Structure 1
Amino acid sequence: MDLQRKYTCIISICLLWLIFVCVFLGENAVIITKSLMYQVSSEDIRGHADEDSGILKDEMFKSTVIQKPIPVNDNCPKMGDISDWTLQCKYNCRAINMTFDSPSRVQLVPVCDQDKGYLVRESTQVTDSTPVLQFQHPCIRTFLRLNCSSNFPVPNIVHYVWYNMRPMRFYHFLSVYSVFKIQKPCVIFIHGDFMPTGEYWNFLLKIVPNILFLQQIPPVEIANKTILHIEHKADITRLNVLKEYGGIYMDTDEILLRKLDPLRKHQFTLSKAFDFNLSNGLILSARDAGFLNIWIKAYDTYDPNKWGYHSTIMPAKLSKIYPDMIHVENKTFVRPDAGHTKDLFQNNFDWSNNYAIHLFMRYYKKVYSLTSIRTLNCTLGTVARFILFGHKELCTK
Structure 2
Amino acid sequence: MGFLQLELTLGMKWRLLLSLVLIAITVLGLLLFVHIINYNFRTTAPLPDYMDDFITADNGDIPSALHLTRFYNKAPVKPTGNLCWLECVSLLSMLLYIKPNHVYVHTNYPDFWPFDSCYSLIATNWTNFKMIHRRRRFVIGGNAINPNNDEFIAHEADITKLTVLHECGGIVSDLDVFYLPNIQKLLSRFRDGFDCIASRELIRDVYKMNLGFLACHKNSPYVRAVLQNYKEDYKTNDWVYNSGEHPWNLYSANPLFRKTVYVDDQISNHPSWTNVKTFLNKKSGMPWKHKPAFHSFFHDCTYNLANVHKQDTSFALMISFILTDAIKIHYDLTRGKPELNLAVG
TM superposition score category, shorter chain reference: 0.5 to 0.7
Q: Which residue among 42, 51, 65 is the counterpart of 1:141?
A: 51
Shift in Å, 1:200: 1.9
Identity of aligned residues (%): 20
Amino acid at match of 1:264: F
Shift in Å, 1:150: 3.9
Quick check: 2:198–2:213 contact (8 Å CA) kept in 1?
A: yes
Quick check: 1:267–1:286 contact (8 Å CA) kept in 2?
A: yes
Quick check: 1:336–1:344 contact (8 Å CA) kept in 2?
A: yes
Quick check: 1:168–1:196 contact (8 Å CA) kept in 2?
A: no
Q: Could you tell me which residue of structure 2 aligns to residue 330 of structure 1?
A: 265
More helix by share: 2
Q: Which residue among 136, 155, 162 is the counterpart of 2:63?
A: 155
> What CA distance in whole angstroms lies between the structure 2 residues aligned with 1:244 and 1:369?
36
Quick check: 2:58–2:170 contact (8 Å CA) kept in 1?
A: no
Q: Which residue among 314, 317, 322 is the counterpart of 1:387?
A: 322
Amino acid at match of 1:257: L
Structure 2: state its 5+ residue gaps.
Answer: 1-45, 147-151, 327-345
Q: Write the deviation string for residues 20-59 of structure 1: whole angstroms up to 9, x where unpaired.
A: xxxxxxxxxxxxxxxxxxxxxxxxxxxxxxxxxxxxxxxx
Relative contact order (alpha carbons < 8 A, sep ≥ 6): 1 or 2 greater? 2
> What CA distance in whole angstroms lies between the structure 1 residues aligned with 2:52 and 2:267?
33
Compute the TM-score of the two structures, normalised by the length of structure 2: 0.67
1:227 counterpart = 2:145:
yes
Q: Could you tell me which residue of structure 1 aligns to residue 189 of structure 2?
A: 263
Counting only pairs closer than 5 Å after superposition, residues 1-397 of structure 1 correspond to structure 2 as: 138-146=48-56, 148-152=57-61, 154-164=62-72, 166-194=81-109, 195-197=112-114, 199-203=116-120, 206-209=123-126, 210-228=128-146, 229-258=152-181, 259=184, 260-265=186-191, 266-274=194-202, 275-299=206-230, 300-322=232-254, 323-348=258-283, 349-362=286-299, 365=300, 367-390=302-325
Of structures 1 and 2, the larger Rg is shown by 2
Amino acid at match of 1:379: S
Q: Write the deviation string for residues 157-192 of structure 1: whole angstroms up to 9, x where unpaired.
A: 111111126121011111111010111111111111
> What CA distance in whole angstroms lies between the structure 1 residues aligned with 2:66 and 2:229?
24
Call closer, same or farther: CA 1:204–1:145 in 2, change over 3 Å: farther
> What CA distance in whole angstroms lies between the structure 2 residues aligned with 1:137 and 1:252?
28
> What CA distance in whole angstroms lies between the structure 2 residues aligned with 1:382 and 1:137?
44
> What CA distance in whole angstroms lies between the structure 2 residues aligned with 1:142 and 1:368?
38
> What CA distance in whole angstroms lies between the structure 1 residues aligned with 2:95 and 2:190?
17
Compute the TM-score of the two structures, normalised by the length of structure 1: 0.59
Quick check: 2:268–2:294 contact (8 Å CA) kept in 1?
A: yes
